[in-house]
Amino acid sequence: MWRCQDNIVQSVNSHLTLYVIISLKGSGVAIQDKEYTLECKTSLKQIHWYKDNIYFGESNIQNGLNCIFNQESDRNFYEYKNCGAEHKLTIKSIDYYRDNGKMWRCQDNIVQSVNSHLTLYVITAGEE
């Protein structure tokens, strides 16, 4: 049986209770033409990333596994920071038209109800 509340999932059976916490945070204010990092804090070894509910890629903190992009062309705009040790996805240079209002989500690759999301709002010149 699984219970989900406030991004904490509890798995209960007669032998084991397992808690998984997952939290997605940004690196502050998203400013046009600046770098911005999304960090998914969790004890999970592998998570999937979604942008506007479309599979974006995955990051792993298991030995020998790589972080991958669903579309190879995304490497032009995004990169995984410290792949293999942390779940961090960096937007190399924020672009208002590409990034503003986009909803990002990180989630367990098996139990999809275990997830956390945030919507990115970009500040342009003069709004800082």
Architecture of domain 22-123: Sandwich (2.60)
CB atoms under 10 Å from CB of 51, counted, come to 19
Express each pLDDT in 70-120 by its tens digit: 999 999 999 998 887 889 999 999 999 999 999 999 998 877 778 899 999
Binned at pLDDT 50, 70 and 90, residue 13 comes out as very low
Taking the C-alpha atoms of residue 53 and residue 41, their distance in angstroms, rounded to an integer, is 19
